[in-house]
Amino acid sequence: MLKFRSVVSRIIALHLLAIVVTSICMPIALDLMLNYAARQLHHRALRDRAAEILQYLDTGPDGALRLSLPATLAQFYSEAYGRSAYAVLDPSGRVLLSSLPGAAAITPARPQTKRFEYFAARSEASEVFGVTVKADMGGQPLMLQVSEDLGHRDVLIDDIVDEFFTRVGWITAPILLLLLGIDVVIFRRALRPIVAASALAERIGPARTELRLPETGMPNEVVPLVRAVNHALDRLEEGFRGQREFTADAAHELRTPLAILRTQIDMIADRELAGSLREDIESMSRLVNQLLDMAELETFVIGEDEIADLAAIATEVAAYIAPLALSQRKNVAVIGTKRPVQVRGNAEALGRAIRNLVENALAHTSPGTTVEIAVAGAGELSVLDRGPGVPNAEREHIFRRFWRSDRRRAGSAGLGLAIVKRIAEMHGATVSVADRQGGGAIFAIRFAAVTDVDTALEHQLETVL
């Protein structure tokens, strides 16, 4: 069975079916009705003639029946005119009077119960249609037959009835089709607010939770749906906001005591004690930061028009992390293209991803080595180190939360790479790990598409024009 997905096409299909049925049935019905009406007209005309004749019928002094028609009427029934005929019969069928040659009856008499009885008689040349009227003349029962030759029937009525299909009937289909056209236009107009609302709904997403579908202009049948959708969006936005507020509050509540502790440690005179406490609080702070990052990323969304430059991010992260790297007697460098490589995304989030990768690399390399951040024009950002690399068996696990290859190692919660993966996914990018030639690991974030702002603009202009 054909399935029509759109309301309009469904209506059109049903409408077409209705048109087919109607254009067949309606002319047939009209034809029947017309024929019936035409017949009724004939019957009445014949009855009127009969009544007219009865007026001029009387019994002569000899007791015989006589008909004294005025000249015009007599002319009408004359043989020469030949269109109409009358005959008066007695109940036994004997012809008393007749306009026909040879004083014949128009049709053989039959026993009759009704006052008017219609008949059709066919002769060799013509078809005769008539009525037999039961009458009574001075106590004597009579039968008056009046007929008309169908070959000479009223021409006008004839034409209308016979040519109904060709002259009038065909108009039904075009009228119905026109109606269908008008209906389609009306439906389209009625559905326009829904189409507009759909376009608006398309734009609703985590980044634009404040958008609501308009109720004004909506057909009444659709308003409950619109209202329900808007309520659902309200709850969704509420949930998002609640989660964000919780993360922000948690950040404040967790970091403030850490900050107090950290500052107190910084003021301890005993350098050795301060140093070891500092290490503890630093790994604690890193864990808190990563947990908060993870929580924030759950509700973080990239703005529709955010553009990030991978080359700038690489340089910024390298500069940020350089003091840490140098303090560990290691180095960081940025290699690859220096030209802007623009992708759709949030620079701060991508920076955190790269930072986590570099921190991870620094944690696994020995002094004297350099961690490199490579930028590729095709939309790839990778971090290369000279550490031990990642064994094949571990590669699918390292991006999981709280996964650590060595649980005894302090200062790592196993969240860094999970954060990297989450940020990459948010950007529609993939993160992967591979062996580096000559030893070490390569972590690469690959973006689906590089945004060439100029060609994107050109493309937009083209589609607009």
Q: Taking the CB of residue 314, how many other CB atoms lie within 10 A of it?
A: 29
Does the protein bind other proteins through residue 425 (CB under 8 A)? no
Per CB under 8 A, which of residues 366..395 are in contact with other proteins?
A: 370, 373
In degrees rounded to 5, what are phi and psi of residue 65? -75, 140
From CA 346, how far away is CA 234, in angstroms rounded? Answer: 26
Give the nearest distance from C-beta 396 to other proteins in angstroms. Answer: 28
Q: Using CB under 8 A, which of 23, 132, 290, 346 touches other proteins?
A: 346
Give the nearest distance from C-beta 239 to other proteins in angstroms. Answer: 18
98-to-66, 84, 252 alpha-carbon distances in Å: 11, 11, 123
From CA 53, how far away is CA 142, in angstroms rounded? Answer: 13
Contact (Cβ atoms closer than 8 angstroms) between residue 461 and residue 454: no
Does the protein bind other proteins through residue 245 (CB under 8 A)? no
137-to-56, 147, 207, 463 alpha-carbon distances in Å: 11, 21, 103, 96
In degrees rounded to 5, what are phi and psi of residue 267? -100, 5
- Would you call 122 exposed, middle or buried from its count of C-beta atoms within 10 A (0-12, 13-18, 19+)? exposed
In degrees rounded to 5, what are phi and psi of residue 54? -60, -30
Q: Using CB under 8 A, which of 71, 80, 155, 267 touches other proteins?
A: 267
- The site that binds other proteins (CB under 8 A) totals a number of residues, namely 47
Stretch that binds other proteins, among 138-146, 203-211, 342-350, 406-414 (CB under 8 A): 342-350
Q: Using CB under 8 A, which of 87, 131, 332, 390 touches other proteins?
A: 332
Does the protein bind other proteins through residue 266 (CB under 8 A)? yes
From CA 315, how far away is CA 307, in angstroms rounded? Answer: 16
Does the protein bind other proteins through residue 248 (CB under 8 A)? yes
Give the nearest distance from C-beta 241 to other proteins in angstroms. Answer: 14
440-to-388, 431, 435 alpha-carbon distances in Å: 5, 17, 6
Q: For residues 211 and 281, which CB has a smaller minimum distance to other proteins in the complex?
A: 281
Stretch that binds other proteins, among 171-179, 348-356, 411-419, 446-454 (CB under 8 A): 348-356
Does the protein bind other proteins through residue 252 (CB under 8 A)? yes
Q: For residues 57 and 354, which CB has a smaller minimum distance to other proteins in the complex?
A: 354
Beta bridge partner(s), residue 323: none
Give the nearest distance from C-beta 209 to other proteins in angstroms. Answer: 15
b/e for 36-62, b at 16 or more Cβ within 10 A? eebeeebeebbbebbebbbeebeeeee
Does the protein bind other proteins through residue 326 (CB under 8 A)? yes
What does the per-residue mask of binding to other proteins show for 285-324, with x meaning CB under 8 A? Answer: x---x--x---x---x-------------xx--xxx-xx-
Give the nearest distance from C-beta 410 to other proteins in angstroms. Answer: 18
Q: Given the rule CB under 8 A, which residues bind other proteins?
A: 247-248, 251-252, 254-256, 258-264, 266-267, 278, 281, 285, 289, 292, 296, 300, 314-315, 318-320, 322-323, 326-327, 329-336, 338, 346, 348-349, 352, 370, 373
